[in-house]
Structure formats: structure tokens, C-alpha cells
Amino acid sequence: MKGAISLSWFSVSMPSLSATGTSGFSNVTSAKSFEVSANGWYAVCATDATGNFSYKLIEITNITASSGGGNTGTGTTSVAVTGVTISGTAMVGQTLTATPAPANATSVTYQWYASDTNDNTNGTVISGKTAKTLVLDAGQVGKFVYVVVKGDASSTATSAQTVAVKPAPIAVTLNSVTANGSPTTTTTELTLNFSAEITGLAASDITVTGATKNGLLVPTATTGQYTLPVTVTANGSATVTAITAPSGYVITGVPKSADVYVEPTAVDFISAEPDGVAGVSPTTKVTLKFDATFTNLALGDITVTGDATKGSLSGGTGGVYELTLTGITASGTINIAISKSEYTFTPPSKTGIAVVYYVAPPAPSISAVRTAGTDDIVVTLSDGKFDSTAAAAASNWTISGYDSGLTLGTITYNTETQVTIAFTGEASANCTISITPKTEVLATGIGTPTGTTVGWSAPVWTFSQTRDLAGVVHITVLKDSVLVVPASVQLHAYVFNGTNWYRTQFGTSGNADIATNNTAGNRLIISKTQFTGAANLTTSNIEGAMLLEGILN
């Protein structure tokens, strides 16, 4: 509606709807409200400037006189029905539902009809079916159903007809699936056994796993039984996982399975040849030889019995495979059996053929050597590895035989195969040191390493003196052929002036009078304590004479 709106009240002798305006209505007033004087039907109409209108019908009943001199009554707003639709499936057992329009239409009644023709005008009443819903039964099969609704103001509406009502679907159960074939013959077809015939069922309606459909579905002489050609490539199970039911059927009982087979292929198991040489090298693998065409052997197809465990499988070219072996602890024989679905092996196993050899690894051993010019012994391990922590622990070593002048020091881990044993002090006599490790020092290796010994020599001291043309006596002391610098006097020369001896210290200035050592006037006596390590000298004094007659007393 457009523009200004005007309201009018009308008295209506018989509720009716007009498409041409208010024809047939008796105008009562153009006021927004008025006092009702009699029971009956009234309409309030709204009209715009272009003549468009809309109205509401109201039925007034039960007019009484009010205390104020006016009349009062009760009224009902009526909404006419203008249309109706049907929802649901046109099949026996299904429910159809009528939905009138508008949704607030008042005083709506329903009547369902069934027509033999595809229309909504020539049907006959379905007796007793006057509810909003209708449950279809066998009486409506093949008929076209519609509904007529009526409402206030003599309104009525007819729905469109349904499609022809179908009978209820036939329930069929897939009872079983079987297959031909056996462990020695190939499966070529599946047999599907239903509880009843299924008109229109085709191979394309059936989904199969574990086999490939390769033909048409063929009914047998047995009711509800069909055969389906298939191709099978491996022993296992074929399963009907789904069936699309033709129209008018409901199929249950899916999935169903059956064992299927492939005729086994004959394969010659030619040989099983181990590597290894008795007493020299251990067996680590067996070479398996089959027909050249057999190229899909898997580790799980092999069973090994005896003193060995199968490891990994490789190869396959020309029917030749290599099977690694572990866990061999002694020379002997093992048995190798082959089993694989779809194949037969001749023979199925090689018994007592694969002779294996075991070579015990050498026990770890150590060697030791004293490092020249040091008080260290370096220990080297063969056929094993030292543990970095345990090898440095003195408690894991037995070390004995060293001179009382020596003190055992620290043990240092150098590498996986070498440690250093340090000593302090000085041996007063030659000795032989025994070194034996415990098993704990090993990180790898079998058994306890064998021990060893290392010789330790006490130092050798030598003394010499010379007198030059100036009358200076030069004294030299060597320890193990190495020059020993005296602890108190360094390298020095001694000079005799006819009365006293004097010591010249190199690197310092001045002379020191050592007349107290001049006991005979022509002899020089030097205490051995002046030399580093002099406690090991075999004489108590070193003497030097002017005439090169010095002796070691």
C-alpha cells in the first residue's frame, strides 16, 4: 500500500472475499472505532490513495448492555486459508503432512483424497482421513493423493497431487557370500545368497573388496541366489561391503565375506649356502637360491631354527637372496624353511644344510712401556676399548712390584685404547712392575684383559773431572747420561791457589772460599748432597786432585 491510509468499518451479512474491493460490504463508519450494536460479522478495511485495500474479518457475538449505556461483546479475528502444500514420501508406510497458508489461518479443516489420474480434481474421499497428516496404506498404491483444506470466511484451498504412491519397499537380507576355489585352485566367482529375489539387481550395484568384478550378475535356479564372476590375485578374503538396492527394495546383512584362493605357483628351493670358514671367519649370512622367476620373497616367509637368528633379507634378482644371521655362538647346522601363500616350494625346507662356523673373538690384552725421560708408563689395549671413567679408577687395576722409592700416582684415560699410569719418586734399585686390569676397565671386549709387566731401572750416576792448563779442575756428574746440575752450586769450576780452593759459579759474580773442604792441601772434597739425586750415589764424597787423581771414595 502506498501514501495515506484510510480506515472504514463494514457490516458483512455473510463473510466473503472479494477481489474487487469492498463490494457486498455495508459501510458502518470511517472512524477508527465504533460501538457495536448487534452480533454479526464486521470487517475493518484499510485503503490507500490508489485504491489498494486489505481487511480483517471479525465475528462479534454475545452483545450485552454495558453499565455506561453502551454495548460490549466478544470478537474473534478470523484468518482465511489461501493455500496448502504436502510434504513427505509417497510410499506405503510413510507419512504425508499438510501445511496450510498462511500459517495463522483459522478454523482450518482437512480432507484427504486419492485420484486414479494424475490430477487434484477427480479424486475420491479417503474415508476418515481428516487430520493434518496421513499415513499411506496399501489402498493408496498407484494413486495420486492430495488434500483440500477449508478455513474461515468460507476459504478453501487444494494442494497439488503427489506422485503415484509406491508400495512399501521389500526387505531383503544378504544371508551369506561364498566362493569357489580351494588352497590348490583359483577362485573365479562369488555366490551371493539373499532371502528373496531382487528385481533389477546388477553387478554395478555391488561393491567388492579383495577381488575384482569381471562379469554380469547371474541369478541361479535357487531363489535369491546370484553368482558374480571375479578375479583374485592373492589368497585372502573377498568382502561384499555395500549393495545399492534397486527401487522398491531395502537390503540388509551387508557386509559379508568369503575366503578366496589363487592356485599356488611351484618354485624350486635350490640351495642355502652359508658364508664363513671353520676356525677362520664366522658365518654372517646365507645365500638362498630359487627359480630365477621367484622374486617376491619376504623376511616373514622364512623360518630359521637352530643356533642362529634371522636378520635382514636382500636381493631377489634371478631368484637369489641373502639372509643375514645373528646370535651364532657355536659351529653347527641350522634349518631354513620357506612358506608363502600362492606358492609351493620343493623342498619346503633345507634341513641340516646350512653349516655355520663360529670364531671366538680374541680376548683383550694390554702392553706397557715406560716413556723415556719420564716417570710415566703408557698402557695400550688391544681387541677392546677402555671405558673412559672405569679405566681411570685405580681400584680397577692391580699394580705391584715397584721399588719403595716410587709412589703410584694418577691414572689418566687418554683414548679408547690407551691410559697413562704416573709414578713419583726415584727407584733406588732396578725393579719389574706388574700391571693387571680388571674387567671393569673395558667398554667393549670379551673377557678380562691379560696383564703385563714393564721393567724399571734405577738411575745410573757417573762422575768425571778434568784440569785445564790454567789449573782449573772441571767436575761433571751425569744421571743416566744426562747432565745433572748440582743443587747448590750449579755448574762450576774449582781453582787451587796453592793454599786454598776456590769455586767459580757460572752466571754469578765473585768467588766463594771453600777452604773448609781443603783437608789435605792438595785435595778437593765435595759433598754428594750438593747434587740433585745424590742420595743414590754409591760414595759419600767426590774428590778432585790437582794431579787428576780424583777418586770416588
The answer to whether residues 24 and 12 touch, using CB atoms and an 8 Å cutoff, is yes
Section 221-249 average pLDDT = 94
pLDDT > 70 fraction of the chain, expressed in percent and rounded: 72
Highest mean pLDDT among 62-76, 274-288, 314-328, 487-501: 314-328
Average pLDDT over the chain reads 79
Least confident range from 78-82, 206-210, 459-463, 534-538: namely: 534-538
Pick the CATH number of 265-356 from 2.60.40, 1.10.3680, 1.10.150, 1.10.287: 2.60.40
User: How crowded is residue 539: how many other Cβ atoms within 10 Å of its Cβ?
Assistant: 13
Predicted pLDDT at 28 = 60
Least confident range from 78-92, 105-119, 219-233, 436-450: namely: 436-450
Burial class (CB in 10 A: 0-12, 13-18, 19+), 543: buried
Predicted pLDDT at 141 = 94
Predicted pLDDT at 466 = 62
Section 310-326 average pLDDT = 93
**Euclidean distance between CA atoms 454 and 166, whole angstroms:** 109
SS3 271: strand
Least confident range from 130-139, 140-149, 283-292, 499-508: namely: 499-508
Predicted pLDDT at 449 = 84
Of 372, 552, 527, whose CA–CA distance to 462 is shortest?
552
- In the structure, what pLDDT confidence band is assigned to residue 531 with cuts at 50, 70 and 90? very low
**Euclidean distance between CA atoms 257 and 174, whole angstroms:** 11
Backbone angles phi, psi at 440, to 5 degrees: -60, -20
Backbone angles phi, psi at 329, to 5 degrees: -120, -5
Measured CA angle at 428 (ends 426, 430), to 5 deg: 100
> Running DSSP on this structure, what letter comes out for residue 183?
T
CATH code of the domain made up of 170-260: 2.60.40.1220
Inform me whether the pLDDT recorded for 150 exceeds 90.
yes
Which residues, including other chains, have CB under 8 Å from residue 430's CB and lie 6 or more apart? 455, 456, 457, 458
Q: In what side-by-side order are the strands of the sheet with 144-151?
A: 124-125, 109-115, 144-151, 155-158
Least confident range from 83-92, 122-131, 275-284: namely: 275-284
**Euclidean distance between CA atoms 95 and 89, whole angstroms:** 7
Q: Where are the beta strands (DSSP E) in 137-194?
A: 144-151, 155-158, 170-179, 189-194
**Better-predicted residue by pLDDT, 407 or 426:** 407
Inform me whether the pLDDT recorded for 72 exceeds 50.
no
Has domain 83-158 been given CATH number 1.10.1040.10?
Answer: no
- In the structure, what pLDDT confidence band is assigned to residue 135 with cuts at 50, 70 and 90? very high
CATH 2.60.40.1220 domain span(s) along the chain? 170-260, 365-456
SS3 74: strand
The type of residue at 275 is D
Least confident range from 25-29, 318-322, 425-429, 438-442: namely: 25-29
Section 528-537 average pLDDT = 38
Inform me whether the pLDDT recorded for 540 exceeds 60.
no
> Running DSSP on this structure, what letter comes out for residue 538?
S
Burial class (CB in 10 A: 0-12, 13-18, 19+), 537: middle
Predicted pLDDT at 431 = 92
Predicted pLDDT at 27 = 66
Measured CA angle at 182 (ends 181, 187), to 5 deg: 25
Predicted pLDDT at 327 = 87
Predicted pLDDT at 508 = 38
User: How crowded is residue 11: how many other Cβ atoms within 10 Å of its Cβ?
Assistant: 17
Place of cell 567388492: 208
Least confident range from 166-175, 214-223, 357-366, 490-499: namely: 490-499
Predicted pLDDT at 13 = 64
Predicted pLDDT at 25 = 61
Backbone angles phi, psi at 70, to 5 degrees: -95, -175
Burial class (CB in 10 A: 0-12, 13-18, 19+), 343: middle
**Euclidean distance between CA atoms 350 and 333, whole angstroms:** 11
CATH 2.60.40.2700 domain span(s) along the chain? 83-158
Least confident range from 30-39, 121-130, 390-399, 466-475: namely: 466-475
Cell of 405: 722409592
The answer to whether residues 522 and 545 touch, using CB atoms and an 8 Å cutoff, is yes
Cross-strand partners of 202: none
Cross-strand partners of 378: 369, 420
| pLDDT (tens digit per residue) in 238-272 | 999 999 999 889 999 999 999 999 999 899 999 99
Inform me whether the pLDDT recorded for 175 exceeds 70.
yes
User: Using CA atoms in the order 78, 79, 85, 86, what is the torsion angle rounded to 10 degrees?
Assistant: -30
Inform me whether the pLDDT recorded for 491 exceeds 50.
no
Of 259, 255, 291, 285, whose CA–CA distance to 272 is shortest?
285
- In the structure, what pLDDT confidence band is assigned to residue 550 with cuts at 50, 70 and 90? very low
Least confident range from 109-123, 341-355, 395-409: namely: 341-355
Inform me whether the pLDDT recorded for 525 exceeds 50.
no
Ordered alpha helix ranges (H), 368-522 = none
Inform me whether the pLDDT recorded for 548 exceeds 50.
no
Fold exhibited by the domain 365-456: Immunoglobulin-like (2.60.40)
**Better-predicted residue by pLDDT, 22 or 361:** 361
SS3 412: strand
**Better-predicted residue by pLDDT, 536 or 90:** 90
Section 90-112 average pLDDT = 94
DSSP output for 501-550: EEEEETTS-SEEE-GGG-SSSSEEEEEGGGBTTGGG-SSSEEEEETTS--
Peptide bond into 361 cis (omega under 30): no
Predicted pLDDT at 422 = 94
**Euclidean distance between CA atoms 288 and 461, whole angstroms:** 73
- In the structure, what pLDDT confidence band is assigned to residue 488 with cuts at 50, 70 and 90? very low
Q: List the end-to-end C-alpha distance of the chain, in Å, as a whole number.
A: 150
**Euclidean distance between CA atoms 304 and 402, whole angstroms:** 56
Highest mean pLDDT among 72-86, 244-258, 277-291, 492-506: 244-258
User: How crowded is residue 479: how many other Cβ atoms within 10 Å of its Cβ?
Assistant: 18
Which residues, including other chains, have CB under 8 Å from residue 99's CB and lie 6 or more apart? 84, 85, 86, 87
Least confident range from 54-63, 382-391, 495-504: namely: 495-504
